[in-house]
Amino acid sequence: MNISINPIVSLLIFPGGLVLLLSGLAYEFVDRKLVARFQNRIGPRWFQPLADLIKLLAKEEIMPTGVVKGLFIFLPIVAVTAILTAALYVPMFGFKPAFSFSGDLVVTVYLLSLMTLCTGLAGANTEDRFSLMGATRALTQMFSYEAPFLLALLGPAIALGTWNIGQINSAAGHNLWFILAQPFGFIAAVIGLMGKLELPPFDAPEAETEIVAGALTEYSGRGLALFHLGRDIELVIGLTLISSFYLGGLGSPLDFLWKTLILLLVTAGLQSLFARLRIDQTVGLWWRVGSIVVLLQLLAIIIGKVVGPLIPFLARG
């Protein structure tokens, strides 16, 4: 849809800002409810994430000793800011991206990774052993899934010949959906998204039974609320990106709703199926299996692009 919204409204209310925050909470609710239903239990009620957010905001923020104070307060804000900025280039809710320029695919992925970097820095900032280990694991995981994830997102970009998310979104629905044309890329993208969001089975950086809460152990109150909010919004943006690339583009809010929800169903199912992978198993899995799969997929795309225009010649000759 091509309605143009006043930029201020777009930033603060819709589709950025307030509505984005609320949709992040809504998607967290759907995710938790789906996982609960898969495990034969009831799950939380619809206002649970909102209640968690309000509760955290109302609590006292305890500053541990030995931290760099400015960094401690600043990092959650930077993380949420990065995520909200990334939403500007993505076709949120089925509308055209608020701002777009050629090459904004790379910028968006970088902004999403900035959140993980902030988490890692936040963990390294304290004297707590658990936070340090969580930070190490978070950064290690980032090094491992980043390359295959970006390459998986590049698949449709190369096939369509543009690195502009808005253009990919409009063009993706015209041909065969990329989920069928590039299935391995789709698989790598979905699993890469789970690694980025630290969803089980890739939740080694915040393994509750091993290192308490990972990098965010020392955070409480407002800082923790902001980090959680950032993670929820990252979920929405990630789902939007993948469904716009692989599920045929997002043309309208209805499109957006059912495509992202189907993807969320698949993600929730994958969350409940596996035991947690150790960090060395995650890295091994990604660098051995993930990269090879994605590289093969890219090879197939490139061959297709080169051979495709030649087929009429070969058919004639």
Which residue ranges make up the site for other proteins (CB under 8 A)? Answer: 36-43, 129-130, 133, 200-201, 203-204, 207-212, 269, 272-281
CB of 155 or CB of 200, closer to other proteins: 200
What's the Cα-to-Cα distance from 84 to each of 125, 170, 245, rounded to whole Å?
24, 22, 20
Which of 41/174 has CB closer to other proteins? 41
Smallest gap from residue 214 Cβ to other proteins (A): 11
Query: Residue 13: what residue type?
Result: I
Burial status of residue 60 (CB atoms within 10 A of its CB: 0-12, 13-18, 19 or more):
exposed
Reference 141, options 198, 79, 200; nearest CA is: 198
Least Å from the CB of residue 140 to other proteins: 10
Least gap, CB of 118 to other proteins (angstroms):
23
Q: Which of 104, 203 has the CB closer to other proteins? A: 203
Q: For residues 39 and 65, which CB has a smaller minimum distance to other proteins in the complex? A: 39
Least Cα distance to 228 among 56, 107, 46 occurs for 56
Q: Which is nearer to other proteins, 136 or 169 (CB)?
A: 136
Q: Which is nearer to other proteins, 270 or 300 (CB)?
A: 270
- The least distance separating other proteins from the CB of residue 138, rounded to whole angstroms, comes to 14
Question: Which of 4, 209 has the CB closer to other proteins?
Answer: 209
Q: Please, what is the minimum distance in Å from the beta carbon of residue 68 to other proteins? A: 21
With contact defined as beta carbons under 8 Å apart, do 202 and 284 qualify? no
The three state secondary structure string of 184-228 is: HHHHHHHHHHHHHCCCCCCCHHHCHHHHCCHHHCCCCHHHHHHHH
Encoded tokens for 220: 């409480």
Minimal distance in Å, beta carbon 246 to other proteins?
Answer: 21
The HSE-up count of residue 302 (CA atoms within 13 Å, CB side) is: 8
Q: Closest distance between other proteins and the C-beta of residue 114, in Å?
A: 26
Q: C-alpha angle with apex 50: 131 to 16, nearest 5 degrees?
A: 90
Helix axes 221-246, 183-196, angle to 10 degrees: 180
Asked whether 44 and 26 are in contact (CB, 8 A), the reply is: no
